[in-house]
Every structure is written in C-alpha cells, then in structure tokens.
Structure 1
C-alpha cells in the first residue's frame, strides 16, 4: 500500500519516526519554493528515511541536531546508495525544522570562529552600529579586510598592535597588481576604514590609515566603455521571447538599455515599485535613495509579458525571480551573469561583459542627441554633477578618423 505525502510524492511504507507528522509540511514548503518532480521526491524520501533512522536510535524531535544529519549521511554512504544531493536535501530539512521551531535552537552546535572571522565580525558590527554604513558598503569592504588579515597573520592569532606601515604597503602593492582600478580604489578605502577602526579600538596607536598608498592614475583615462546602439539592438533581437526565461531576460535587458539601471537596482525591484497607472518606476538607488523614473511603453510591455506569462508563482515581491528552485529573487551578480550569457549566445563582441556598459551606452547616446548633463544625471540618479561629466570626455581615437587632411599635404 502506498502512502501519499504530497500530490507528487508517495512512499512505499508508512512514515515512521519523530518527523513523520511533518513530512507533508516539508513537502508543501519545497513545492512553494519551486521544487517539483524528481528533486521534490528525492528530498522528501530522504527526510522519511532520516526519520526512520532517528526512531531506530531513539532520538526524539527536540533532540535532533546537525550532528545527527552528519552521522546519518555516513550511515547512508555505508549501507545505502548515496547521491551528491543528499547533503543539500538534509540541509533543507534541518533549516525547515529550525524555522518551524520543531528542534531546539540550543541543540544546534555553534562552530568555533577562527581568529580572522572573530576580528571581521567585530569590524562588521562597528561599521553597522557606529558608522551606520549600508549593508551593500559593508559587503564590499569585508572581503578586502579578510584578505588583509590573512596576508598579515595567516592562521595565527590576530594582534593588530603588531601591524606596521610595511605590512600595509606590501598588501596594497600585492593586491593592486591584480585588481581593476575601481576595485583597487575600493580596496584602499576599505583598508583605511579598517585601520581607523583598529586605532579607534586602541589596538594600535599608529595612524596606519595614512600609510595606505594611493594607487596611481585615479583619473579616468578614457570615456567609459559603452555598448553601442547597434550592439544593443542586436542583443535584444537575439532573445527568444517565446520562453519564460526569454521574457524575463528581455525585460531586464530593456531596463538596462532604456533606463540605464544598475544591476542591483533591477535585482531588488519589487512589484509595488511599479505604478502602472502613472507609468512610473520607483527605483531603490544607492545609499537608500529612491528615484522616480518614467516607465517607457516598450519596457512596461516587456515586464507585463513576463509577469503574465513567465514569472513563477511565488510569495516573493521581487519582480524578477530565478527560473529554477528555490524560486527566489537573485542578486546583482545574477543580472551580470545574465548579461554575460546573453552576449555570448548572441556572438556580440561588446566592450565589456558587464551590465554597467548599458548605463554608459545610454548616457553616451543621450549626450550625442543633445541632452544636457543635468538631464542625463537625473535619469541615471547621479548625486553629484561631477559624476556625469565623465561622459563629456573626448574620444581622441575616434576623432582621428574624422580629421581632415592638411591642405598643403605632407611636407
């Protein structure tokens, strides 16, 4: 006799053990996250086997912890045919039990932090509490600080009092060689912030922030690299809008091309940010600012087509969702990956593989058609006029192709 757990999952035996009563709820949550078919069956069946294994060992629901999942995986590897997805499936189950408060939080063993992790967490708390920096800024800073601490202390204890100017200079020199100018600039900014934090804590009396070298050539060496209008048209024409993923990708690329939005602004766009009646889009810009932008008809039509015939069912308020489970919104890196993949499939040799080139392309086109710097800055959400002025720089190489010959010829 088969036992129905979910409309897509049946078990050969009646479920047993401390988790038997919760398998249906687990299956429903997985289904709501977009899992279906074989993946849904696999995860629920492993949960049922895990529950039976727990019963055999006399483990109650309130006593379950991560160690039991580890022990079960070892047992499964020895006695049952195991798969690569088993560990992920049990991870989803433990997370579900924790969210539903079916297992005791104190039973979840806390992993001991490394010295670098402890120091980094304290710095993050300082940035958040004392400096009130945005989450995005903190995310940008932290990887550089981890690398700096690894460079100076390796796996040993963190003693900031032993830092010297030579440590700072050698780290910057090493990192600057492999980083793009913008990343190098961000790295030095993060490093100065951390060294000021170390002095604020009293870990060092030296002003090591002043020892951070300035990476040469900060001035913009040329006009920003922008995708051309022809390449943009070619890319948009290459998208297959007969599929759900194609409708989503087309709408995202249109937002990049027509409004010059940043990748993060598109990724975090929510359904409530679209005012269909007024034809406006409310964009969450940098530093928490919101910009109200007009919604072009073709962009609105593309978004509507995706919402009606491509967007998966989800409780998420994000406009653009992943096509595969778990069905959630994606980050700015997801938009960048979409752009790279689309350019590659279309065979377009664009100036870069990133999403920001559309922003530069839009600004360049507006300038060529007579738009003022204030109009361009308003559309792109620039807070400072100086940011928009980079588009007025002259492309000398392009101008040389237009140069008239000297009337008297070469002498």
Structure 2
C-alpha cells in the first residue's frame, strides 16, 4: 500500500491530488489564517469559518500539486479545481467537489484579490451616460438621481442624441411605445423624468422651448383606492411575535415599533444614524423625501426597544448606522426589501390576514389609528411628513363614522 501511495504521488496532476497528511496550505498558510480571521470578524460562526478554512487549504495544496502559481489564479483555475477528482485521505472522501465547497474556494480567491495577491476580474462596464444626462442628474435631488437618469437613458436610443431635432410627435410616439412594454405606473414616473430633462435642456438652449408640454399625461387616479391597513390589535400581535431572547428578535421588535408608532418608511429605517436619537429630549430625527429633516417624538415603548437593541443586539462596529443584518457577514441593512422582510416574517408568525405585506402596511395602520383616535388630518400629516394635504385626506376614507355624518341622502330615499 505504501508503494502504491508513493507511485500515486509521483503521478499527481491537476486531475488527481494525493497526500498522506492533512491539507497543507504551504506558502499560502499565513493568508489562509488571515482569511479565517477576517471571516470571524465579519460575524461568521466557528463551524462556518472552519469550512472556509478547509476549502482554502485544499485549494492551496491543489495549486502546489498542479504546479500553478498563485499569481496565475483566475476563474479558469477555479473551474479546473472544481472539476478535479479529489483523493485526499483523511480530509475528503468524495472524488467530486460540491458546489458549496467551490463557492467557499471562490470566496477565498476573492479575498486574495481584495488583498492584491491575485488579479481581480474587472467588473463589466456599465453604459456611460450621455454628458447631458450627467449634467441633468446634477440638478436632481439625491434620492431620484439614479432612477431618473436610468429612465432618460432608456429613452435616448429612440429619441436620438440630438435634442435640437426632437419634436412633439417624436416625444409622444416614444412614450406611447413605452406603455406597451412596461406598466403604466412605471411610464408615469418615466414621463416625470423626461419632462424634467426637457426643461433642463430648454433652459440651456439645447432643445425647442415647451417640449416638456408634449410629453403625454398617463392617466392614473391617485388615492382612488382605500388605504391598506390592519387593526391596532393586529399590529400588537405582529410586535408580540418577536423573540426577545434572540438578537434578531430584539432588532425586529425595535423596527416594528418604529414603523407602527411613528409611521416611518422603510427608507427611514435604513438611513437612521446613532446621532439621530436624542435620548435627553426623547426625539428622533428623520430625513425623508426631499432631504427634509423632521424631529419626531420617540414613544416610550419604541425608545425602550431601540435602546435594548443598541445595548444587547447591535454589532460592535464603528459604523454609525443603527440597524444591521442579523446574519454574517456583518453589514448594515440595505434595500427597503430588508425592512419589508421583517414585517413579512412577523405576519407569517402571527398568521393573521393582511391586505399587503410590506413596511407600508404599518405606516398606513399608524395613520388610520391616529385618525380614528381623534387626531386631526393636520396632525397625522405632520407625523407622516406629507407634503400635500391630499395625501393625508386619503386616510379619511377609512373613518366610516365620520363619512356617514357628511354623506348626503340618496335622491328618492325616505
């Protein structure tokens, strides 16, 4: 058997890696150690870190046996590693390498790229916006820059890059064509972006004046439906689903209470900073649409939940943002969907019927509860930070008692 083993080692190649000892990372051992330390700092569990450690050491040993220099590592090398038939006794018994194992190897290669050890694969180049689109983006508020820029860029191939040649018929035809490809709500936002772009060009003398009036109006009746909300008792049921013995439960309870008590948007939760909380005055600063900053009173239960999260569950990191993902790697919550997922999880646990399952459900429920509790429309609008009274008046439709008082009798009724 020993002779056979020595013969196997003599025939080692990139298709068969052999060895009598545990995986030996060789010259890469210090980097493997740094890699596992990095994963630990990111919050990965010890079992996960040991799995990454084994994969990284396996790659390092295979590179030596296959006579591949570290500087030559690329996606092609990772693919070859994934295809090799492993016969490493004591560590792996399977000849094939699983997809999960290969993902761990690729993560190690990414780590080497981040450290400048191997050449990183260049990211695919994004289309470069036209220079006038870039100038237009400079005039738009930060929250809408990317969205309006993308929408205008979508229309440019059909409009052409010479604004002076545009006319009303062309603009109408381009927008009408878009209504056949995407939803009316999307086209409505697209027309808003295009009008702004046309005004921008006109102000600089780059297109005919008044072309923004040629952009067709997309019919969409705002506030025609009833607000989607749940009863106050159901809101409390959602909040009660949070397991306060876990870090995730402590975090989710703080998020749910902020949504339910203050009617915050998902974006408000994502943008909260440690400096936004004034514990002495019991207030919370929120920067919503249009970069407007509003200071809201922080209710006792929401403040207690937030303090519990900061004290017990929030990772000890230098980042000033408040809410972080509960799973490794440690990183702030990103994207409104992450906040909506917290609401969906609570809905699923509570098992209650709801008209919608996003973060706005609690915002609408908060507004409805305030109105039914006797708050004026002005007060509700101030808490929700509505710029238009019409938005707040939308919630009056759910107060049936109030509507009955002002409803006119049907002609012919006795």
Query: TM-score, with normalisation over the residues of structure 2?
Result: 0.74
Q: 2:39 aligns with which of 30, 45, 60?
A: 30
Which SS does the other structure have where 2:220 is aligned? coil
For 2:130 and 2:113, the matched residues in 1 are separated by 23
User: Residue 258 of structure 1 corresponds to which residue in structure 2?
Assistant: 261
The answer to whether 1:59 aligns with 2:69 is: yes
Which shows bigger deviation, 258-267 or 323-332? Answer: 323-332
Deviations 1:337-378 (A, max 9, x none): 221222132122223212113222222322333333443333
For 2:390 and 2:350, the matched residues in 1 are separated by 31
Which SS does the other structure have where 1:76 is aligned? helix
Counterpart mapping for 1:10-159 below 5 A: 12-17=22-27, 19-55=28-64, 56-60=66-70, 63=71, 68-80=74-86, 81-86=96-101, 88-103=103-118, 107-110=119-122, 113=125, 117-120=126-129, 125-128=134-137, 130-134=138-142, 136-141=143-148, 144=151
Counterpart mapping for 1:167-246 below 5 A: 167-176=174-183, 179=185, 183-193=186-196, 210-246=213-249
Q: Is the 8 A contact 2:239 2:346 kept in 1?
A: no
Q: 2:285 aligns with which of 261, 282, 287?
A: 282
Counterpart mapping for 1:297-316 below 5 A: 297-316=300-319
Q: Is the 8 A contact 1:69 1:90 kept in 2?
A: no
Deviations 1:67-118 (A, max 9, x none): x133223332233432333454345334433443444xxx4453554xxx41
Identify if the C-alpha distance between structure 1 residues 187 and 88 changes in structure 2 by more than 3 Å, giving closer, same or farther.
farther
Q: Is the 8 A contact 1:252 1:266 kept in 2?
A: yes
Deviations 1:95-143 (A, max 9, x none): 433443444xxx4453554xxx415586874454x32531x32343466
Identify if the C-alpha distance between structure 1 residues 259 and 343 changes in structure 2 by more than 3 Å, giving closer, same or farther.
same
Q: Is the 8 A contact 1:343 1:353 kept in 2?
A: yes
Give the greater-gyration-radius structure (CA): 2
Give the paired residue count: 376
Identify if the C-alpha distance between structure 1 residues 218 and 410 changes in structure 2 by more than 3 Å, giving closer, same or farther.
closer
Query: TM-score, with normalisation over the residues of structure 1?
Result: 0.75
User: Residue 380 of structure 1 corresponds to which residue in structure 2?
Assistant: 384
For 2:206 and 2:102, the matched residues in 1 are separated by 42
Which SS does the other structure have where 2:328 is aligned? coil
Identify if the C-alpha distance between structure 1 residues 204 and 30 changes in structure 2 by more than 3 Å, giving closer, same or farther.
farther
Identify if the C-alpha distance between structure 1 residues 314 and 82 changes in structure 2 by more than 3 Å, giving closer, same or farther.
farther
Deviation at 1:25, TM superposition (A): 1.7
The answer to whether 1:324 aligns with 2:327 is: yes
Q: Is the 8 A contact 2:381 2:392 kept in 1?
A: no
Which SS does the other structure have where 2:79 is aligned? helix
Q: Is the 8 A contact 1:32 1:314 kept in 2?
A: no
- Mind listing any 5+ residue stretches in structure 2 that lack a counterpart? 1-20, 87-95
- Mind listing any 5+ residue stretches in structure 1 that lack a counterpart? 1-10
Q: Is the 8 A contact 2:247 2:313 kept in 1?
A: yes
Which SS does the other structure have where 1:85 is aligned? helix
Identify if the C-alpha distance between structure 1 residues 172 and 196 changes in structure 2 by more than 3 Å, giving closer, same or farther.
farther
Deviation at 1:279, TM superposition (A): 2.0
Q: Is the 8 A contact 2:78 2:105 kept in 1?
A: no
